Amino acid sequence: MVELVQLLFAGLTTGAVYALVALGFTLIFQASEVVNFAQGEFVMLGGMVTVFAMKAGLPLPLAALLAVLVAVATGLLLHRLAIEPAKGATVVTLIIVTIGASILIRGLAQIVFDKQFHALPAFTGDEPIRLLGAAILPQSLWVLGGAAAIVLGLWLFMERTLLGKAVRATAANRLAAELVGIDTRVVLALAFAVSAAIGAVGGILVTPITLTSYAVGTLLALKGFAAAMLGGIGNPVGAVVGGLLLGLLESFAAGWISSTYKDGVAFLVILLVLFALPQGLLGRRAVERV
Protein backbone atom coordinates (compact mmCIF):
# COMPACT_ATOMS: atom_id res chain seq x y z
CA MET A 1 0.00 0.00 0.00
CA VAL A 2 2.78 2.39 0.99
CA GLU A 3 4.68 1.46 -2.17
CA LEU A 4 1.56 1.92 -4.25
CA VAL A 5 0.98 5.46 -2.97
CA GLN A 6 4.66 6.28 -3.40
CA LEU A 7 4.71 5.09 -7.01
CA LEU A 8 1.39 6.76 -7.70
CA PHE A 9 2.68 10.16 -6.61
CA ALA A 10 5.99 9.79 -8.40
CA GLY A 11 4.11 8.79 -11.55
CA LEU A 12 1.64 11.65 -11.34
CA THR A 13 4.46 14.15 -10.81
CA THR A 14 6.46 13.16 -13.89
CA GLY A 15 3.17 12.58 -15.69
CA ALA A 16 2.16 16.19 -15.02
CA VAL A 17 5.32 17.40 -16.77
CA TYR A 18 4.68 15.06 -19.73
CA ALA A 19 1.12 16.40 -19.79
CA LEU A 20 2.41 19.98 -20.06
CA VAL A 21 4.75 19.03 -22.91
CA ALA A 22 1.92 17.15 -24.63
CA LEU A 23 -0.35 20.15 -24.16
CA GLY A 24 2.28 22.31 -25.89
CA PHE A 25 2.38 19.84 -28.80
CA THR A 26 -1.41 19.88 -29.00
CA LEU A 27 -1.74 23.64 -28.98
CA ILE A 28 0.69 24.14 -31.87
CA PHE A 29 -0.59 21.10 -33.76
CA GLN A 30 -4.18 22.33 -33.53
CA ALA A 31 -3.35 25.79 -34.77
CA SER A 32 -1.07 24.69 -37.61
CA GLU A 33 -0.71 20.91 -38.06
CA VAL A 34 2.95 21.42 -37.10
CA VAL A 35 4.39 18.75 -34.78
CA ASN A 36 6.91 20.84 -32.87
CA PHE A 37 9.76 18.60 -31.74
CA ALA A 38 11.48 21.62 -30.19
CA GLN A 39 8.81 21.47 -27.46
CA GLY A 40 11.21 19.82 -25.00
CA GLU A 41 13.71 22.68 -25.40
CA PHE A 42 11.19 25.07 -23.83
CA VAL A 43 11.19 22.84 -20.72
CA MET A 44 14.99 22.83 -20.75
CA LEU A 45 15.11 26.63 -21.09
CA GLY A 46 12.67 27.02 -18.19
CA GLY A 47 14.93 25.08 -15.85
CA MET A 48 18.32 26.25 -17.14
CA VAL A 49 17.56 29.97 -17.35
CA THR A 50 16.12 29.88 -13.82
CA VAL A 51 19.23 28.09 -12.52
CA PHE A 52 21.65 30.56 -14.09
CA ALA A 53 19.58 33.64 -13.26
CA MET A 54 19.55 32.54 -9.62
CA LYS A 55 23.32 32.02 -9.75
CA ALA A 56 23.55 35.61 -11.01
CA GLY A 57 21.74 36.72 -7.87
CA LEU A 58 18.07 36.98 -8.89
CA PRO A 59 15.48 35.69 -6.41
CA LEU A 60 13.53 32.61 -7.54
CA PRO A 61 10.31 34.36 -8.66
CA LEU A 62 12.19 36.84 -10.84
CA ALA A 63 14.50 34.14 -12.20
CA ALA A 64 11.47 32.02 -13.07
CA LEU A 65 9.74 34.96 -14.78
CA LEU A 66 12.87 35.66 -16.80
CA ALA A 67 13.03 31.99 -17.81
CA VAL A 68 9.45 32.05 -19.06
CA LEU A 69 10.15 35.24 -21.03
CA VAL A 70 13.26 33.71 -22.61
CA ALA A 71 11.28 30.61 -23.59
CA VAL A 72 8.45 32.72 -25.05
CA ALA A 73 10.94 34.80 -27.04
CA THR A 74 12.54 31.57 -28.30
CA GLY A 75 9.11 30.23 -29.28
CA LEU A 76 8.25 33.41 -31.18
CA LEU A 77 11.60 33.39 -32.96
CA LEU A 78 11.15 29.74 -33.85
CA HIS A 79 7.80 30.60 -35.42
CA ARG A 80 9.04 33.70 -37.19
CA LEU A 81 12.36 32.37 -38.49
CA ALA A 82 11.68 28.68 -39.08
CA ILE A 83 7.96 27.91 -39.34
CA GLU A 84 6.58 31.00 -41.09
CA PRO A 85 9.11 30.93 -44.00
CA ALA A 86 8.32 27.22 -44.51
CA LYS A 87 4.60 27.96 -44.93
CA GLY A 88 2.97 25.44 -47.20
CA ALA A 89 5.70 22.82 -46.69
CA THR A 90 4.73 19.21 -46.06
CA VAL A 91 4.23 17.86 -42.54
CA VAL A 92 7.46 15.84 -42.76
CA THR A 93 9.47 18.90 -43.84
CA LEU A 94 8.06 20.89 -40.94
CA ILE A 95 8.92 18.10 -38.49
CA ILE A 96 12.51 18.13 -39.76
CA VAL A 97 12.56 21.93 -39.40
CA THR A 98 11.52 21.66 -35.74
CA ILE A 99 14.03 18.87 -35.06
CA GLY A 100 16.73 21.09 -36.57
CA ALA A 101 15.58 24.00 -34.42
CA SER A 102 15.73 21.83 -31.31
CA ILE A 103 19.31 20.77 -32.10
CA LEU A 104 20.23 24.43 -32.62
CA ILE A 105 18.62 25.54 -29.34
CA ARG A 106 20.35 22.71 -27.48
CA GLY A 107 23.70 23.63 -29.01
CA LEU A 108 23.30 27.29 -28.08
CA ALA A 109 22.30 26.32 -24.54
CA GLN A 110 25.44 24.20 -24.26
CA ILE A 111 27.55 27.24 -25.24
CA VAL A 112 25.68 29.86 -23.22
CA PHE A 113 25.30 27.68 -20.11
CA ASP A 114 27.41 24.53 -19.68
CA LYS A 115 27.24 20.74 -19.86
CA GLN A 116 26.70 20.12 -16.15
CA PHE A 117 23.60 18.94 -14.36
CA HIS A 118 21.99 21.60 -12.19
CA ALA A 119 19.43 21.62 -9.42
CA LEU A 120 17.09 24.25 -8.07
CA PRO A 121 16.17 24.49 -4.39
CA ALA A 122 12.70 23.13 -3.67
CA PHE A 123 10.23 26.02 -3.48
CA THR A 124 9.00 25.21 0.02
CA GLY A 125 11.61 22.96 1.61
CA ASP A 126 12.55 19.30 1.31
CA GLU A 127 10.70 17.98 4.36
CA PRO A 128 8.57 15.10 3.00
CA ILE A 129 4.88 15.08 3.75
CA ARG A 130 3.58 11.77 5.13
CA LEU A 131 0.55 10.43 3.32
CA LEU A 132 -0.76 6.92 4.03
CA GLY A 133 2.76 6.00 5.08
CA ALA A 134 4.37 7.25 1.88
CA ALA A 135 6.75 10.21 1.76
CA ILE A 136 5.65 12.91 -0.69
CA LEU A 137 7.99 15.77 -1.59
CA PRO A 138 6.36 19.19 -1.22
CA GLN A 139 7.77 20.01 -4.66
CA SER A 140 5.58 17.24 -6.13
CA LEU A 141 2.58 19.18 -4.94
CA TRP A 142 3.96 22.30 -6.64
CA VAL A 143 4.28 20.38 -9.89
CA LEU A 144 0.78 18.91 -9.66
CA GLY A 145 -0.80 22.18 -8.52
CA GLY A 146 1.06 24.22 -11.13
CA ALA A 147 0.10 21.83 -13.92
CA ALA A 148 -3.53 21.87 -12.77
CA ALA A 149 -3.55 25.68 -12.70
CA ILE A 150 -2.12 25.82 -16.24
CA VAL A 151 -4.66 23.33 -17.59
CA LEU A 152 -7.51 25.25 -15.98
CA GLY A 153 -6.22 28.62 -17.19
CA LEU A 154 -5.77 27.32 -20.73
CA TRP A 155 -9.26 25.81 -20.69
CA LEU A 156 -10.79 29.11 -19.56
CA PHE A 157 -8.86 30.98 -22.25
CA MET A 158 -9.95 28.61 -25.03
CA GLU A 159 -13.60 28.30 -23.96
CA ARG A 160 -14.43 31.73 -22.57
CA THR A 161 -12.49 34.37 -24.50
CA LEU A 162 -13.01 35.52 -28.08
CA LEU A 163 -9.27 35.25 -28.74
CA GLY A 164 -9.27 31.67 -27.43
CA LYS A 165 -12.22 30.88 -29.67
CA ALA A 166 -10.32 32.41 -32.57
CA VAL A 167 -7.52 29.90 -31.89
CA ARG A 168 -10.06 27.05 -31.92
CA ALA A 169 -11.65 28.48 -35.06
CA THR A 170 -8.26 28.58 -36.79
CA ALA A 171 -7.71 24.97 -35.74
CA ALA A 172 -11.14 23.95 -37.05
CA ASN A 173 -10.95 25.76 -40.39
CA ARG A 174 -8.03 27.97 -41.31
CA LEU A 175 -9.56 29.32 -44.54
CA ALA A 176 -12.78 30.32 -42.80
CA ALA A 177 -10.77 31.91 -39.98
CA GLU A 178 -9.00 34.14 -42.50
CA LEU A 179 -12.31 34.99 -44.16
CA VAL A 180 -13.86 36.22 -40.91
CA GLY A 181 -10.89 38.49 -40.33
CA ILE A 182 -8.71 36.46 -37.97
CA ASP A 183 -5.01 37.06 -38.59
CA THR A 184 -3.98 33.39 -38.58
CA ARG A 185 -0.29 34.31 -38.51
CA VAL A 186 -0.83 36.03 -35.15
CA VAL A 187 -2.86 33.05 -33.89
CA LEU A 188 -0.02 30.71 -34.77
CA ALA A 189 2.56 32.99 -33.13
CA LEU A 190 0.31 33.04 -30.06
CA ALA A 191 0.19 29.23 -30.05
CA PHE A 192 3.99 29.08 -30.10
CA ALA A 193 4.28 31.69 -27.32
CA VAL A 194 1.76 29.95 -25.06
CA SER A 195 3.29 26.51 -25.73
CA ALA A 196 6.71 27.86 -24.87
CA ALA A 197 5.45 29.43 -21.65
CA ILE A 198 3.70 26.20 -20.62
CA GLY A 199 6.83 24.15 -21.30
CA ALA A 200 9.04 26.60 -19.41
CA VAL A 201 6.80 26.58 -16.34
CA GLY A 202 6.88 22.78 -16.38
CA GLY A 203 10.68 22.89 -16.51
CA ILE A 204 10.90 25.33 -13.60
CA LEU A 205 8.51 23.33 -11.43
CA VAL A 206 10.18 19.96 -11.97
CA THR A 207 13.88 20.94 -11.87
CA PRO A 208 14.12 20.75 -8.05
CA ILE A 209 13.09 17.06 -8.33
CA THR A 210 14.72 15.83 -11.55
CA LEU A 211 17.70 18.16 -12.12
CA THR A 212 18.24 19.76 -15.50
CA SER A 213 20.93 20.18 -18.15
CA TYR A 214 21.16 21.56 -21.68
CA ALA A 215 20.23 18.12 -23.03
CA VAL A 216 17.04 17.22 -21.13
CA GLY A 217 14.77 18.52 -23.90
CA THR A 218 15.15 15.66 -26.37
CA LEU A 219 13.81 12.91 -24.15
CA LEU A 220 11.06 15.16 -22.81
CA ALA A 221 9.94 16.01 -26.34
CA LEU A 222 9.75 12.33 -27.26
CA LYS A 223 7.87 11.45 -24.08
CA GLY A 224 5.53 14.39 -24.45
CA PHE A 225 4.90 13.29 -28.02
CA ALA A 226 4.21 9.74 -26.83
CA ALA A 227 1.77 11.18 -24.29
CA ALA A 228 0.04 13.29 -26.94
CA MET A 229 -0.23 10.26 -29.25
CA LEU A 230 -1.58 8.13 -26.41
CA GLY A 231 -4.24 10.68 -25.58
CA GLY A 232 -5.05 11.40 -29.21
CA ILE A 233 -3.04 14.13 -30.92
CA GLY A 234 -4.92 17.39 -31.28
CA ASN A 235 -7.06 16.84 -28.19
CA PRO A 236 -6.08 18.92 -25.11
CA VAL A 237 -7.93 16.62 -22.68
CA GLY A 238 -6.21 13.69 -24.33
CA ALA A 239 -2.83 15.39 -23.84
CA VAL A 240 -3.38 15.67 -20.09
CA VAL A 241 -4.76 12.13 -19.74
CA GLY A 242 -1.98 10.74 -21.93
CA GLY A 243 0.71 12.57 -19.95
CA LEU A 244 -0.52 11.41 -16.55
CA LEU A 245 -1.02 7.86 -17.83
CA LEU A 246 2.48 7.73 -19.31
CA GLY A 247 3.97 9.03 -16.06
CA LEU A 248 2.12 6.36 -14.08
CA LEU A 249 3.14 3.60 -16.50
CA GLU A 250 6.78 4.64 -16.20
CA SER A 251 6.61 4.87 -12.45
CA PHE A 252 5.03 1.44 -12.00
CA ALA A 253 7.32 -0.13 -14.60
CA ALA A 254 10.31 1.25 -12.69
CA GLY A 255 8.93 0.16 -9.32
CA TRP A 256 7.60 -3.28 -10.16
CA ILE A 257 9.79 -4.43 -13.05
CA SER A 258 13.08 -2.53 -13.18
CA SER A 259 14.08 1.11 -13.41
CA THR A 260 16.38 0.10 -16.28
CA TYR A 261 13.34 -0.08 -18.55
CA LYS A 262 11.77 3.17 -17.34
CA ASP A 263 12.62 5.22 -20.43
CA GLY A 264 11.62 2.36 -22.73
CA VAL A 265 7.99 2.57 -21.60
CA ALA A 266 7.31 5.73 -23.59
CA PHE A 267 8.60 4.15 -26.80
CA LEU A 268 6.65 0.97 -26.20
CA VAL A 269 3.58 3.18 -25.77
CA ILE A 270 4.24 5.00 -29.08
CA LEU A 271 4.57 1.69 -30.93
CA LEU A 272 1.48 0.14 -29.35
CA VAL A 273 -0.58 3.26 -30.02
CA LEU A 274 0.55 3.45 -33.64
CA PHE A 275 -0.22 -0.24 -34.24
CA ALA A 276 -3.41 -0.66 -32.28
CA LEU A 277 -4.99 2.74 -31.69
CA PRO A 278 -3.67 5.33 -34.18
CA GLN A 279 -6.28 7.93 -33.18
CA GLY A 280 -5.34 7.65 -29.48
CA LEU A 281 -7.57 7.13 -26.46
CA LEU A 282 -9.58 10.32 -26.96
CA GLY A 283 -8.95 10.79 -30.68
CA ARG A 284 -11.05 13.01 -32.86
CA ARG A 285 -14.72 12.31 -32.82
CA ALA A 286 -15.70 15.11 -35.11
CA VAL A 287 -19.28 16.31 -35.16
CA GLU A 288 -19.65 17.20 -38.79
CA ARG A 289 -22.25 16.86 -41.46
CA VAL A 290 -21.28 17.54 -45.02
Partner 1 sequence: MPPPEPLLEVRGLRCGYGRIEAVKGVDLEVREGEIAALVGANGAGKTTLLRAISGVLPIRAGSIRFAGEPIEGLRPHERVAHGIVQVPEGRQLFAPLSVEDNLRLGAFRRGRERTEANLARVFALFPQLAERRDVPAGALSGGQQQMCAIGRALMAGPRLLLLDEPSMGLAPTLVEQILATVARLRGEGVTVLLVEQNAVAALSLADRGWVLETGRIAHAGSGRALLDDPAVKAAYLGL
The residues binding partner 1 (CB under 8 A) are: 162, 165-166, 168-169, 172-173, 175-183, 286-289
246 by Cβ neighbours in 10 Å (0-12 / 13-18 / 19+) ranks as buried
Supply the minimum distance, in Å, between the C-beta of residue 183 and partner 1. 4
275 by Cβ neighbours in 10 Å (0-12 / 13-18 / 19+) ranks as exposed
State which residue, 135 or 172, has the beta carbon closest to partner 1: 172
State which residue, 59 or 181, has the beta carbon closest to partner 1: 181
Distance of CA 283 to the CA centre of its chain: 19
State which residue, 111 or 162, has the beta carbon closest to partner 1: 162
Taking the C-alpha atoms of residue 217 and residue 244, their distance in angstroms, rounded to an integer, is: 18
Rg (CA), the chain: 19
Supply the minimum distance, in Å, between the C-beta of residue 148 and partner 1. 24
State which residue, 176 or 257, has the beta carbon closest to partner 1: 176
Taking the C-alpha atoms of residue 189 and residue 28, their distance in angstroms, rounded to an integer, is: 9
State which residue, 130 or 285, has the beta carbon closest to partner 1: 285
Supply the minimum distance, in Å, between the C-beta of residue 94 and partner 1. 20
Supply the minimum distance, in Å, between the C-beta of residue 219 and partner 1. 33
179 by Cβ neighbours in 10 Å (0-12 / 13-18 / 19+) ranks as exposed
- Which is it for strands 134-136 and 129-131: parallel, antiparallel or unpaired? antiparallel
**Which 3 state secondary structure label does DSSP give 212?**
strand
State which residue, 221 or 239, has the beta carbon closest to partner 1: 239
CA-based torsion, 67, 65, 138, 241: positive or negative: negative
Supply the minimum distance, in Å, between the C-beta of residue 171 and partner 1. 9
Supply the minimum distance, in Å, between the C-beta of residue 109 and partner 1. 35
In 56-183, which residue ranges form alpha helices assigned H by DSSP?
60-77, 91-112, 138-160, 162-172, 174-179
**Which 3 state secondary structure label does DSSP give 108?**
helix
Taking the C-alpha atoms of residue 104 and residue 24, their distance in angstroms, rounded to an integer, is: 19
Supply the minimum distance, in Å, between the C-beta of residue 280 and partner 1. 17
State which residue, 210 or 279, has the beta carbon closest to partner 1: 279
